[in-house]
Amino acid sequence: MNNHHVIEQKEKNDTPFMPKIIHTMIRVLDPVRSQQFYTEGFGFFVSHRLDFDDFSLIYLRNPENDFEIELTHNFSRTEPYTHGDGYGHYAFAADDLDAMHSKLTALGYAPAAMKEFKKDGELLARFFFVQDTDGYKIEVLQTGGHYR
């Protein structure tokens, strides 16, 4: 028996105050290394920065959209963060997955091997995983179908 429930998607105008996802936050040990990873690997740039006495918030985005990754750097932290058993991954879609894999490999970030999900012979997803400099898992999917 399938216990999953599907909620029907409403049209954008059905809800007067539709929320919009704007960023995800990750805690980083070395913001320079983290920023270099996201800039070199995914074309992100610093869109906003807030510096406080004991921490900084560094917002990164790329030209594709206005969703941001917020890097939180706590100055007193000296040990890498653990990710517990609740964190999964976040994902990017790439038009040329092979080129993206080659680029990350050339930059020394060691992406995992390509994988494919198929059902009844139909390709549903083609992807690979890579970890950023703080160990956060990132899925990179071939653009197409559900992943755009």
CA atoms of 133 and 131, how far apart (whole Å): 7
Cα–Cα distance, 69 to 23 (Å, whole number): 5
From residue 87, alpha-carbon distances to 25, 26, 67, 83, 112 in Å are 12, 10, 19, 6, 18
In this structure, what token pair is assigned to residue 111? 């992406």
Element (H, E) at 97: helix 97-106
Query: Is 139 a known active-site residue?
Result: yes
Backbone angles phi, psi at 37, to 5 degrees: -60, -50
From the candidates 11, 40, 64, 139, which is the catalytic residue? 139
Which residues are marked as active site? Answer: 139
